[in-house]
């Protein structure tokens, strides 16, 4: 854990490195990404062990959902970086002949990255890739709820990056509060909407721009023409990954009323065939988080009678039509409960979604392209995945982010470079300086007539 008294020195160190990072050339940044990737592979087993220690994350999930996204981000940004760093010429004004206008892409400065516990490696290192490639320094704050992984991230960064480029502050609320009292050039936060509001209030004190990757109740819509078995299998996977502790996990499923019983049966079949034993699945991150889920479940008679030997494990359940005022329908679940809500026509679904906060993700299961497009046109969400779950998040060529209370800003691939870059407008005057002189005082009658003619001509 980093003593709070040491935090100012860490911040000063990375702020002192801003100029070198901003002015680094393409070769230096590509070399940095190469070092990043090589060190990631060298620390792979350490990360896998830490994730298993913190919440029993299986090796396959650790590699697939934690390390693969970081390598994918490095690969895409490496391919795009040369074009991104090149000055971008824009159309000049006919009134400034010979002038040159372009956009210069510069790092914002020092970025504070506050990472969550649910994917503690990926959600710390993926934004780190974009921030460094864009020419910034970074102060990284991992989650205290995954202490082994936090320690591993600190070790990884210390061995991989120069101390003026990346620093890691470990700890809990006191460390985060201390960090937020300081001025940064951008804050990147992943976590709950409630904490996101705290981050934004603190950032406002310094007028610091923010990227907020939050959450919400991401709905799935099973249309009347959907392949029910396929929908059941993919929703089961999307909800089972990381024991449902995923910001874009399907939070509830809207199913045609006449097909509700059949669909629930298909979910049960898919669970029996596909899901590993409970003791082979990731744990809930803490007993407190597990108790919250079990308290939700206790309100629902059709799934309440379940007991688990491990206090940090919760059995996946599919409550049917829970009360609208129940916790499972009012709060983001963030665990292995998947409510099924019946509907008679799609307008009911559109009304339900519109009445709640804008979700981070939307899942659409429909064969008809017309139905797919209808659902897209009638809903609003950060991202959409059609006939599957989570995969839009896995394609780093797509921007990832929320809307409304599910977040602001986005990242992944080129969107990451954009998030951490200041687009600096540059105009260079050419040799013909007559018009600028005509625009300067004294404002004679002749100049008044000239500007009137220009306005009519435009």
Residue 240 and residue 250 in contact, taking contact as beta carbons nearer than 8 Å: no
Whole-number Å distance between alpha carbons of 278 and 297: 17
State the DSSP H helix or E strand holding residue 378, giving kind and residue range, or none if neither: helix 369-378
Question: Which residue out of 213, 254, 332, 385 is catalytically annotated?
Answer: 213
Using only C-alpha atoms, the chain has a radius of gyration, in whole angstroms, of: 26
Task: Write the CB contacts of 335 (distance below 8 Å, at least 6 apart in sequence).
Answer: 243, 244, 245, 284, 289, 290, 292, 293, 314
Whole-number Å distance between alpha carbons of 6 and 8: 6
The b/e string for 287-297 (b: 16+ C-beta within 10 A; e otherwise) is eebbebbbebb
Instruction: Extract the tokens encoding 78.
Output: 């490496």
**Active-site residue, 213 included:** yes
Q: Within 10 Å of residue 397's Cβ, how many Cβ atoms?
A: 11
Question: Which residue out of 66, 233, 247, 332 is catalytically annotated?
Answer: 247
Is the peptide bond prior to 408 cis by the omega test (within 30 degrees of 0)?
Answer: no
- Residue closest to 338 by CA, chosen among 244, 248, 198, 256: 244
State the DSSP H helix or E strand holding residue 22, giving kind and residue range, or none if neither: helix 18-22
**Residue 321 burial class via C-beta count within 10 angstroms: exposed 0-12, middle 13-18, buried 19 and up:** middle
Query: Which pairing describes strands 137-141 and 410-411: parallel, antiparallel, or unpaired?
Result: unpaired
Whole-number Å distance between alpha carbons of 139 and 130: 13
Coil/strand/helix, residue 94: coil
Whole-number Å distance between alpha carbons of 260 and 342: 6
Whole-number Å distance between alpha carbons of 242 and 349: 27
Q: Which residue has the tokens 């320094």?
A: 137
Dihedral angle computed from the Cα positions of residues 149, 151, 152 and 155, in that order, rounded to the nearest 10 degrees: 160
Whole-number Å distance between alpha carbons of 331 and 245: 14
Whole-number Å distance between alpha carbons of 214 and 386: 21
Residue 380, by phi and psi: left (phi above 0), alpha (psi -120 to 50) or beta?
beta
Residue 401 and residue 410 in contact, taking contact as beta carbons nearer than 8 Å: yes
Catalytic residues: 213, 247
């Amino acid at each position: 854990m980093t003593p709070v008294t040491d935090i100012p020195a860490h911040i000063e160190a990375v702020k002192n490195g801003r100029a070198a990072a901003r002015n680094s050339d393409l070769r230096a940044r590509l070399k940095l990404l190469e070092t990043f990737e090589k060190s990631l592979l060298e620390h792979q087993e350490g990360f896998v062990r830490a994730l298993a220690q913190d919440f029993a994350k299986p090796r396959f999930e650790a590699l697939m959902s934690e390390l693969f996204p970081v390598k994918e981000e490095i690969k895409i940004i490496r391919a795009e970086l040369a074009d991104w760093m090149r000055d971008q010429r824009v159309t000049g004004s006919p009134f400034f002949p010979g002038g040159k206008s372009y956009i210069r892409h510069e790092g914002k400065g020092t970025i504070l990255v506050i990472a969550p516990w649910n994917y503690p490696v990926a959600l710390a290192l993926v934004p780190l890739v974009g921030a460094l490639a864009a020419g910034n320094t970074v102060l990284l704050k991992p989650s205290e709820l995954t202490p082994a992984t936090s320690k591993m991230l600190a070790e990884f960064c210390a061995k991989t990056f120069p101390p003026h480029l990346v620093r890691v502050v470990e700890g809990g609320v006191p460390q985060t509060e201390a960090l937020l009292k300081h001025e940064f050039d951008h804050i990147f936060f992943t976590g709950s909407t409630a904490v996101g509001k705290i981050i934004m209030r603190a950032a406002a004190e310094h007028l610091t721009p923010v990227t907020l990757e939050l959450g919400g109740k991401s709905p799935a819509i099973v249309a009347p023409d959907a392949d029910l078995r396929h929908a059941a299998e993919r929703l089961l996977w999307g909800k089972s990954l990381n024991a449902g502790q995923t910001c874009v996990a399907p939070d509830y499923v809207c199913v045609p009323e006449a097909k509700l019983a059949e669909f629930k049966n298909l979910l049960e079949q898919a669970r029996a065939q596909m899901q590993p034993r409970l003791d082979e699945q990731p744990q809930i991150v803490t007993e407190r988080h597990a108790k919250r889920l079990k308290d939700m479940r206790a309100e629902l008679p059709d799934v309440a009678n379940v007991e688990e030997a491990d206090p940090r494990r919760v059995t996946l359940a599919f409550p049917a039509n829970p009360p609208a005022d129940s916790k499972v329908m009012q709060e983001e679940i963030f665990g292995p409960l998947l409510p099924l809500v019946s509907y008679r026509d799609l307008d009911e679904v559109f009304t339900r979604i519109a009445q709640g906060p804008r979700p981070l993700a939307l899942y659409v299961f429909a064969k008809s392209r017309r139905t797919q497009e209808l659902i897209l046109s009638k809903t609003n969400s950060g991202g959409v995945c059609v006939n599957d779950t989570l995969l839009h998040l896995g394609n780093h060529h797509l921007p990832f982010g929320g809307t409304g209370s599910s977040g602001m800003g986005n990242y992944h691939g080129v969107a990451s470079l954009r998030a951490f870059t200041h687009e600096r407008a540059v105009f260079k005057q050419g040799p013909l300086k007559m018009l600028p002189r005509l625009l300067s005082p004294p404002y004679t009658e002749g100049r008044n007539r000239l500007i009137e003619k220009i306005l009519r001509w435009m």
